[in-house]
Amino acid sequence: MTTACAYTAREADSDGFIHYPPEEHQVWHDLIVRQQRNLPGRACHEYLEGLAKLALPHDHIPQLADIDAVLLDNTGWRTAPVPALIPFGRFFKLLANKAFPVATFIRRHEDFDYIQEPDIFHEIAGHCPLLTHPAFAEFNEIYGKLGLDADKTERVFLARLYWFTIEFGLVGLNPQERRIYGGGILSSPSETEYALSGKPEYRAFNIADVLRTPYRIDRIQPIYYVLDKLDTLFEIAQSDIMGEVHKAMSKGLFEPHPSLAD
């Protein structure tokens, strides 16, 4: 992860309250209203259950304390305000301590459909609903602990596991029952519509393949990996992830998908 970002996060006041100008509340409103129209029939039911628990407002950006109250009650997680993209080390340490990093800025209208930097809409609306689910929460915690002990090269391979699960994962091997759980998709109005359109390539989840699959953060994803069910994240978290990482390192990466070429 790099710390370079085109946005500046907003800092909380002495009472922990973050003040956003009206135009940023309007962006939140526009995003969440449009996205919630896209969710039925696309988002997995565990995400929708978590979204109902969070009861996100439509007229203003929520305060992190309100999100924390729900997460703590369900899985013992909380949020942690961060500037934007953060170093790998800090990212892993937060996850290992059941704290989910949330950048306290929101995208501009020109980045409405997709943003490379994870903004507060991405983190709150994309990821936090599923942090109420035990499998999703445990996977994130164990992933953080593994990352803390990993070296630089191992972390690069670990990043692919996170990318193709937590960020851009699908669930449901039957195409008619396939749904989205990845927050990178669920916070992108355009990718939410695209992900189940039949245009991408869908591959059954296989950690050995996931760890060797190149990706780019500035493109709509040409490949998605699909879990059979969300609880499979429990099984992945308890497996020998680092052993698989070392096997992937010895074999090297697959050829990039043609759409990833410049």
Using one digit for the tens of pLDDT, what is the confidence trace for 127-160? Answer: 999 999 999 999 999 999 999 999 999 999 999 9
Q: pLDDT tier at 6 (50, 70, 90 boundaries)?
A: confident
Average pLDDT, the chain: 95
More confident residue, 124 or 85: 124
Sign of CA dihedral 148, 140, 93, 20: positive
Q: pLDDT tier at 112 (50, 70, 90 boundaries)?
A: confident
Task: From residue 235, give the alpha-carbon distance in Å to each of 52, 91, 228, 238.
Answer: 26, 23, 12, 5
Which range is least confidently modeled, 50-54, 108-112, 227-231? 108-112
3-state helix, strand, coil in the chain (%, to 5): 50, 10, 40
Q: pLDDT tier at 189 (50, 70, 90 boundaries)?
A: confident
In a domain, 6, yes or no: no
Dump the DSSP string for 208-221: HHHTT----TTS--
More confident residue, 139 or 4: 139
Angle at 83 between CA 79 and CA 84, to 5 degrees: 90
> How many other CB atoms sit within 10 Å of the CB of residue 236?
20
CATH number at residue 198: 1.10.800.10
Mean pLDDT, residues 241-252 taken together? 98
Q: 224 lies in which domain range?
A: 22-260
In a domain, 187, yes or no: yes
Instruction: Give pLDDT tens digits for 11-65.
Output: 999 999 999 999 999 999 999 999 989 999 999 999 999 999 999 999 999 999 9
Q: Is the pLDDT of residue 177 over 90?
A: yes
In a domain, 5, yes or no: no
Residue 4 has a pLDDT of 57
Query: What is the C-alpha end-to-end distance of the chain, expressed in Å?
Result: 21
In a domain, 177, yes or no: yes
Q: Is the pLDDT of residue 3 over 60?
A: no
Residue 2 has a pLDDT of 44
In a domain, 175, yes or no: yes
Residue 115 has a pLDDT of 80
- Please state, in angstroms and rounded to a whole number, the distance separating the CA atoms of residues 92 and 152: 12
Q: Is the pLDDT of residue 164 over 60?
A: yes
In a domain, 13, yes or no: no
Residue 83 has a pLDDT of 84
In a domain, 182, yes or no: yes
8 A C-beta contact, residue 116 and residue 6: no
In a domain, 12, yes or no: no
Could you tell me the pTM of the whole model? 0.94
Mean pLDDT, residues 69-78 taken together? 98
Q: Is the pLDDT of residue 119 over 70?
A: yes
Number of domains in the chain: 1
